[in-house]
């Protein structure tokens, strides 16, 4: 997810970025991998995922973004990285096999962007608060309650794991407008 809004939330379960990590290519819509549901991370995936995470963080920070899901880099695993800390701070969060287990009835609208839809933004309405269950890289299960930007980012990245892009939450008209702008930007070299 890309979003320049600051957020005061701090959170645990972090993995640090490796400064010298090689950057990964981010897939851009309408790449078909972005519409596929990712598979559950199994114990035998841990070593490969552990090696991949520093590169995911480096890629996300470089973009710059606040979230990156494995399908966005062509990896069909239910894993994502998130960091919604204020500028100049880092609070990286690794989400393995995340799922929203509870959400508020109250909704909130927030402008969203996505690293797989560069320079495209639209207001998306989502539950205002969520409780997410996930595992960390050590396999420990954790639950996290979130609201504000963190709640939006968590929902956005979990959507990626289910083959859903933020534009899929828009009306057909708005989604088509965003996708046409993206195609135009890519054609002119802007995206």
Binding-site residues for Fe cation sit at 114, 156, 160
Q: How far apart are CA 153 and CA 92, in angstroms?
A: 13
Say whether 138 is catalytic.
Answer: no
Handedness of CA 42, 70, 155, 95 (dihedral sign): positive
Name the phi and psi angles at 68, rounded to 5. Answer: -150, 125
- Binding-site positions: 114, 156, 160
Q: How far is CA 111 from CA 5, 21, 68, 89, in A?
A: 9, 30, 17, 22
Residues contacting 54, CB < 8 A, separation 6+ = 15, 16, 17, 18, 21
Q: Please tell me which residue in 17, 112, 128, 157 is annotated as part of the active site.
A: 157
Catalytic site positions:
157
């Amino acid at each position: 997810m890309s979003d320049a809004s600051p957020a005061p939330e701090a959170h645990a379960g972090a993995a640090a970025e490796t400064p010298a990590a090689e950057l990964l290519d981010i897939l851009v819509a309408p790449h078909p991998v972005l519409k596929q549901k990712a598979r559950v991370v199994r114990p035998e995936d841990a070593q490969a995922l552990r090696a991949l995470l520093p590169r995911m963080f480096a890629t996300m920070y470089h973009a710059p973004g606040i979230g990156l899901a494995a399908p966005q880099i062509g990896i069909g695993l239910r894993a994502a990285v998130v960091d919604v800390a204020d500028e100049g701070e880092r609070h990286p969060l690794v989400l393995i096999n995340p799922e929203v287990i509870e959400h508020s009835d109250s909704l909130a609208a927030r402008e969203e962007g996505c690293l797989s839809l560069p320079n495209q933004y639209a207001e998306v309405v989502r539950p205002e608060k969520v409780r997410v269950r996930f595992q960390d890289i050590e396999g420990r299960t954790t639950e996290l309650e979130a609201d504000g930007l963190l709640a939006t980012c968590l929902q956005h990245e979990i959507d990626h794991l289910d083959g859903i892009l933020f534009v899929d939450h828009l009306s057909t008209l708005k989604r088509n407008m965003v996708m046409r702008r993206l195609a135009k930007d890519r054609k002119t070299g802007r995206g």
